[in-house]
Chains A and B, each alone.
Chain A
């Protein structure tokens, strides 16, 4: 029953190492989120293109990404792409895979947010002769962003909790670090518990932050100066 004894000395010894790995997890999440938001927006806008071919192509790209496991995509990018001359570091692969995978999900969030803008807003923008870029930038997105915040936040938190999958391509994130510490010391309880607690703390903080952002956002949208 030795394994269930909590060793505080060991805990404090490994905590800095887990925290160092947490930085990698957070970095992958941060960069992955930025990439996912950009890709989501690109997919969403292309889904509204006038070109039927483009709309259908993007629909199938999004469906393909959403319907295949993230781990398969990570493996494909890390192990298969080098055969085509495209080779990336584990972190870059992770960011790319997370961004692409969650970008596909976020595209649906963004699409429904944009679709939620009243037809009259589009018509007013057109009647005032605003370009399509100005219409999106100044009229549509400032109003559409607030309703998108909760779902976007949920996907970013989900992405954060999926980062352990990047251990499969040797990225030294929190879970990978805990595994290494456990196997080297034959003690898994403390490192895995620490990882679990850190995931919980970061997720709760992110959820609180997202709620605050949403609360502070004007209901009618914001205006870019």
Chain B
């Protein structure tokens, strides 16, 4: 069995006095699609933000693609990673944000081509050709020259997905990508992910409140509460026969809605 592509070992994370993770362990296999569900404040988004290097850790180790994310080898021991190491590690990862975070002063196409050109040194022609393919994939080929403010929430999020894919990450992190959308716009975004999963192999971590989507798309579902994985397993098992009372209560609350 190959080594996991993501591995958290005894990770500790605090925000001031508030402990989010203490001694947290978690693994994701290559090409596995893992949905993370759980109540607000349980550490779901923090997990993705730590992986994307938007938040540091206060203890433990995280390996991504066989290398330590937040540490680097130096003179025979591991020391906190410098910006060069983090820059290298971020090449494995792509993230789609809850609030899109598109660059409002750039066209849709420029949003998608900017990073590949700047970071990977891809030529403009090549970056634009790939951007056109991605826009086709997310169903926005006709919006290449529009600005984000001219798009609906669903369209913005589809651009967000295309922008993350433009960097060709091996791990895609989706942080509540439908939470900021009106209900009628949710499906257009989820359809993009459905198509993506059919066409490409990805390691995907998604934090979501769309239970039916998590059940449909995931290889594994993890229920988080208070910075710990309370229960995890195949979607059917989690959604139809949860073992833990806390999981049952959470899912019942959602089904009740």
Contact = CB atoms under 8 A, between A and B. Distances in A.
A150 interface: no
Contacts of B93: 127
B163 interface: yes
B101 A139 contact: no
Interface in A204-225: 218, 220-223
B101 A120 contact: yes
A138 interface: yes
B105 A124 contact: no
A220 B149 contact: yes
B105 A222 contact: yes
B95 interface: yes
B159 to A, nearest CB: 11
A121 B115 contact: no
B97 interface: yes
Nearest to B110: A223
B215 interface: no
B118 interface: yes
A128 B114 contact: yes
Interface residues of B, number: 30
Interface size class of A (residues with CB under 8 A): 20 to 34
Contacts of A220: 104-105, 147-149
Contacts of B254: none
Contact of B163 (A128, A134, A223): A128
B46 interface: no
Given A127-B94, A128-B114, A221 B167 contact: no
A123 interface: yes
B255 interface: no
B105 A223 contact: yes
A130 B119 contact: yes
15 contacts: A120-B97, A120-B99, A120-B101, A123-B54, A126-B52, A127-B94, A128-B115, A128-B167, A129-B87, A129-B115, A130-B114, A143-B105, A220-B148, A223-B106, A223-B110
Q: 10 nearest interchain CB pairs?
A: A221-B105, A128-B115, A120-B101, A124-B101, A220-B104, A127-B95, A129-B90, A129-B119, A220-B105, A134-B118
